Structure 1
Amino acid sequence: MDIADIATPDYVEVKATERLGKVRSLFERENPKGIIVMDDGEYAGVVGEKQLINSHVEDNTKAAALMKPAPKIDRHENVREVARMLVEGDTKIAPVYENGDLYGIVTQDAILEAVLENLDALAVDQIYTDDVITIGERDHLGQAIHSLRENGISRLPVVNGDNRLAGVLTTYDLVEFMVRDEGRQGKQDRRGDIDRMLDLPVYDLMTSPALTATPEESVRDAVARMLENDIAGLIITPADDDGEVLGVLTKTDVLRALTYTEQERMDVQVTNIDLLETLTRENIINAITEVADKYQRMNVMHAHVRFHEHKEKLRGTPLIQCQIRLRTSHGQLAGSGEGYGAEHAFHVALDKLERNVLEQKGFEADERYRGQLLRKLNEL
């Protein structure tokens, strides 16, 4: 299946010189999945809701300062490859070209709608993320924003004093609040209002009740619920609905599953691949394969490596956070770490991953064992 019928010529476009205040208003009025930024009539990048979650950016800032690159996609590209490009580019929208000309866009939602019926082949427990980060309902919004930024995520399950699910806070909730607050306060200096906003409890802004899914249900049903309610993720709770937070399933997790194939060597997916610099995809594949090969009875179905850049730098080299997640026959295994530069961060995360593997029951060192990628979806 290619994306010829999935891509659309209808999209929201702004100039690179457009004020951020107007861009935020566009999100409120038109609720796009992203905005295409043009510079002198040429495609320059996209702006998504993640880029708007920055309380230190003034409304007069130009869109060019917040836009990020997104992969250019051929209108007849295979849907699996497009899914991979969106995940690795950490974007929900990308420009689509036909014969060298900008045709339109392809969105995460359009792909998921097109493949919805095929998703019966997967169960939620095969692909959801279980190393979830939560926040308390009495914690401040400033803490929530920090957690979203530092971990490069878009939603936080909110728990009550009994550590049970009370709601969910998303980047969209924060964007909506900031835009609504701007309209109420007018154009005067709002720095004091923003400071007071950061001191508000999460309880005041969270969505409750949060929409959920169980590990046993099909991915098709879970995605249909996301699309119907126009949300990007579901909180995973047990079937008995006791409020325990088991994890999160997002549309990005589902897109990642679309890239699963059967190969003799491990396939590794990298998010924010532009941060690699001296590190290569081949380096990453070899290093993770070497760790997986040490342990018997560990069938590796998929590996995902995510890089996230912090503002801090050391002699010009940015502090990078790296998260490695393996989906194996023994469940999910993860490791994370930080370092100056992607290569340093990756090796810190890899060491943590191996320590976590050793702590798991049932794994024993065996140099002869080779991990292999298993097919999760075979009908696309």
Structure 2
Amino acid sequence: MDITDIVMTEFVEVDVDERLAKVRAKFDEQNPRGVIVTDDGAYEGVIGESELVKSRIQDDTKASVLMTSAPRVDHHEDIREVARLLVEGDVQIAPVFRGDSLAGIITGDAILTAVLENLDALIVEQIYSEDVINIAAKSTVGQAINRLREHGISRLPVVDDRGSLDGVITTHDIVDFVVRDHERQHKGDRSGDRDRMLDLPVENLMSSPVVTATPDESVEVAVQRMFDNEISGLVVTAGEGQQAVAGVVTKTDVLRALTFTEEETMDVQITNVELLDTIKREEIVDSITQVVDKYQEMNVMHAHVRFHEHKEKLRGTPLIQAQIRLRTSHGQLAGSGEGYGANHAFHVALDKLERNVLELKGINADKEYRGQLLRKLNEI
């Protein structure tokens, strides 16, 4: 299936010199998944909602500073390949070209809508992220913004003193508050001062009750719930009263699942490939394969490697966070780490992944031994 029938020919467009205040206004008025940035009509990049938070709320910032490079997509491209391009580019919108002409845009939502009926074959447990970054209800909005930036995520489950789910705060919640704060300041109301906004407790902005999913639900049901509530992710809950935070499932997780293959060779996907420095894709694939081969009974269907750049640098080399997640016949396995440069960060994460793989191997070997011992005892 290609994307010809789901390309959107109507989209929001801003010039590279447009100021952030006007870009934010367009988000507030039209609530798009993103906007196309052009220079004298020529495509330059896109701006997503998360970039508004990363802008440090500077109204006079130009669009060119905030825009992200998004892959050009041909209007006849296969839908799975487009899903891969969006995930690897860490974007939810991409320009669609017919030859050299900008014909429209493709969004993650359009892809998910087109394949929705086919998602009943997956359950949430197979694709959700278990490494959850959360925040306490009494923490400040400023702390929430820093945590969102630091981990390159768009939502934080909010927990109470007992660790139970209390709410969720997203980049959209913060952007929406900033827009209202901006309007108050223009009306002369100084109660919306930026510093006071950053000092507000998270519970003042969070959404509650939270729209959630359970691990055993079908991905089709979960995605439909996202659409019904106009949100891009769900907190996955488990335990008594379904109040324990087990993970988060997002539309990006679902798009990533569309790229899974059942081929004998491991399918590896890399997000933010532009951060690769002295390490190449081939080395990443070979390194993960070597780790996986240490547990030959485990079959890996899909591997996802994500790089995220922090602002800190050492002799010009940025601090990078690397996350490796495997979808295997024995469940999900992950490893993460930080280092200066993608090469260093990847190998720190790889070491942690290897420990987790060997630990799983040891646990299963121990279970097998106990099983053999019990069988022998029964024969006595």
TM-score interval (norm. to shorter): over 0.9
Q: CA deviation at 1:210?
A: 0.7
Q: Secondary structure at the match of 1:53?
A: helix
Structure 1 Cα separation of the partners of residues 195 and 18 of structure 2: 26
TM-score (norm 2): 0.92
* Structural mapping, 1:166-205, within 5 Å: 166-186=166-186, 193-205=193-205
Corresponding residue number in structure 1 for 2:125? 125
Structure 1 Cα separation of the partners of residues 152 and 310 of structure 2: 10
Q: Is the counterpart of residue 362 in structure 1 residue 355 in structure 2?
A: no
Corresponding residue number in structure 1 for 2:376? none
Contact 2:55 2:66 in 1 (8 A): no
Structure 1 Cα separation of the partners of residues 188 and 166 of structure 2: 35
Structure 1 Cα separation of the partners of residues 117 and 139 of structure 2: 40
Q: CA deviation at 1:58?
A: 1.5
Corresponding residue number in structure 2 for 1:86? 86
Corresponding residue number in structure 2 for 1:370? none
Q: Deviations over 1:307-330 (max 9, x none)?
A: 001111222221111111112222
Structure 1 Cα separation of the partners of residues 191 and 321 of structure 2: 30
Structure 2 Cα separation of the partners of residues 165 and 154 of structure 1: 17
Corresponding residue number in structure 1 for 2:263? 263
Corresponding residue number in structure 2 for 1:48? 48
Q: Is the counterpart of residue 335 in structure 1 residue 327 in structure 2?
A: no
Contact 1:88 1:273 in 2 (8 A): yes
Corresponding residue number in structure 1 for 2:135? 135
Q: Is the counterpart of residue 250 in structure 1 residue 240 in structure 2?
A: no
Q: Which residue identity does 1:116 align to in structure 2?
A: L
Structure 1 Cα separation of the partners of residues 189 and 309 of structure 2: 30
Corresponding residue number in structure 2 for 1:325? 325
Q: CA deviation at 1:259?
A: 0.4
Q: CA deviation at 1:19?
A: 0.3
More helix by share: 2
Corresponding residue number in structure 1 for 2:102? 102
Structure 2 Cα separation of the partners of residues 189 and 59 of structure 1: 17
Contact 1:357 1:363 in 2 (8 A): no
Change (3 A) 1:259 1:115: same
**Structure 2: gaps (5+ residues):** 366-380
**Structure 1: gaps (5+ residues):** 365-380
Q: CA deviation at 1:174?
A: 0.6
Contact 1:214 1:239 in 2 (8 A): no
Contact 2:295 2:358 in 1 (8 A): no
Q: Deviations over 1:324-349 (max 9, x none)?
A: 11122222211111111111111111
Q: CA deviation at 1:358?
A: 2.8
Change (3 A) 1:34 1:55: closer
Q: CA deviation at 1:363?
A: 5.2
Corresponding residue number in structure 2 for 1:284? 284
Contact 2:261 2:301 in 1 (8 A): no
Contact 1:297 1:363 in 2 (8 A): no
Change (3 A) 1:341 1:123: same
Q: Which residue identity does 2:52 align to in structure 1?
A: L
Q: Secondary structure at the match of 1:284?
A: helix
Structure 2 Cα separation of the partners of residues 96 and 258 of structure 1: 20
Q: Is the counterpart of residue 227 in structure 1 residue 227 in structure 2?
A: yes
* Structural mapping, 1:11-90, within 5 Å: 11-54=11-54, 56-90=56-90
Change (3 A) 1:223 1:239: farther
Corresponding residue number in structure 1 for 2:149? 149
Contact 2:262 2:301 in 1 (8 A): no
Q: Secondary structure at the match of 1:37?
A: strand
Contact 1:55 1:194 in 2 (8 A): no
Q: CA deviation at 1:100?
A: 2.1
Q: CA deviation at 1:191?
A: 12
Q: CA deviation at 1:202?
A: 0.8
Structure 2 Cα separation of the partners of residues 115 and 134 of structure 1: 31
Contact 2:294 2:358 in 1 (8 A): no
TM-score (norm 1): 0.92
Change (3 A) 1:239 1:337: closer
Q: Secondary structure at the match of 2:203?
A: helix
Structure 1 Cα separation of the partners of residues 112 and 278 of structure 2: 34
Q: CA deviation at 1:242?
A: 3.1
Q: CA deviation at 1:189?
A: 11
Identical positions, percent: 65
**Higher RCO, 1 vs 2 (CA within 8 Å, ≥6 residues apart):** 1
Q: Secondary structure at the match of 2:327?
A: strand
Structure 2 Cα separation of the partners of residues 52 and 187 of structure 1: 22
Corresponding residue number in structure 2 for 1:367? none
22-31 or 332-341, larger mean C-alpha shift: 332-341
Structure 1 Cα separation of the partners of residues 69 and 191 of structure 2: 30
Change (3 A) 1:99 1:363: same
Structure 1 Cα separation of the partners of residues 146 and 59 of structure 2: 20
Q: Which residue identity does 2:354 align to in structure 1?
A: E
Corresponding residue number in structure 2 for 1:352? 352
Q: CA deviation at 1:140?
A: 1.2
Higher Cα Rg: structure 1 or 2?
2
